[in-house]
Structure 1
Amino acid sequence: MKLKIDLHVHTVYSGDSSITLEKAIVAAKKAGLDGFAITDHDNVEMNKKILGKNFDLIIIPGVEVTSKDGHILGLGVLEPIKPNLSAFETVKKIHELGGLAIAPHPLNPFKHSLNKNVVEKIGVDAVETANASMPHILQFKVEELAEKLNVAKTGGSDAHIPSSIGKAYTIIEVEEKSLESILKAIKDRKTTPLKKETSINEFFPKIWLKIKRKIKEL
């Protein structure tokens, strides 16, 4: 069967997102998704809230780790991972915890992204080739990178507001609706990333949330 899953969603635990668990579920259903992954910045608190609970759709635990070299997604990760390790050490830790390591929005100069040389050396399981805010000029280069590494291509909205959920997502061909089956399918490259056009108006709330986060850190 094929599942439509947004593999990159931030909740209020990221500090720069307005998405609660309830809002994420409503938005995912509205977007026609079968599920989404929680990938908060260096925080796994929301993952604890979904443990042992049944929802109408699939919710994948995860995290977006800040390494010294750029952001790295860890899917299937329930435990916190220390930030500011090297990218290689971060990927190693994700694998030790039984997760998959994905290079999100790679090569993007407007985000804390991994560069090409780093992605090629650290052993990621997938490359996010469809990100809702990825400049079109990078699309070919990112897809070329995934093909060179012979790893899965994934899609995720990188949503920080509810309306962005589902703007980019991944079609995953799985044997059954389970976390294990989904992770295995990604590892086996049974994925098709897709992306919708994003209105510039959707970026303003995200920018404001980031500004408020920086002010709180002062």
Structure 2
Amino acid sequence: MSNEHTTITESLAKVATRANELCNTVDAQINNIKNTLKAEQDALQAKKTQFDAQAASSISQYQGKMDDFIESGDNRYQKTLSKSDFIVPVDLKHLDDTKFYPVALHHCKMLDLRIERYVHDDITSGGILDYFVQLQNWSNGGDFTFAKQFHHFYSHRAFVGKIAAASTPYTSSVWLRGGWSYKFYLNGQYSKGPVIIESETQVVERIASTDYFLAPITEVQPHVAANNFILGV
């Protein structure tokens, strides 16, 4: 009887031992699965972090390009005519035709600017403009600054209201009548523009912590060359 009892006890002990071994094996497998899942989650999080950083960088670059596109929208129409000539449409049709608005060019260095309108641009018999000026203002007073007018012709209405060689420390500007479109023919050096200044609150130029502004005007200034003006004639 005792031997039989011992045998049963031993058998139960073996079963218990085996059960513990199986439990330990299951626990080990569960831990392996947990560790594998944790490693995969960490890898996925690392990839997500990398993707988020790349996406943020791409969005920032895209936004920068869009900001520049919006600020200097006319530049997207630039078309090379030769190695040093550009024709740039400047559209002021959405602005008040009783005012003249500054159109700024930055860091002009011996820049030849011819502004042209065909008589039927925008509307039939809207008016001709052929205005030619040479601009220089690239060194904030460190250069010989000038706006030299060569010729000026218009019909129906005056389109040029003002010209400034140094409208801000590093810009030269021409004030053009709103409500119409123009073509700028550019030959020479400049760093940015033409930039249309639509209100006196729009920043034209920022140097360090100082902002510079230009305002629209309503009257043609006396220094603008008269109609039918040709230099030397």
TM-score by length of 2: 0.26
TM-score by length of 1: 0.28
The structure with the greater share of residues assigned to strand is 2
Q: Larger C-alpha radius of gyration, 1 or 2?
A: 2
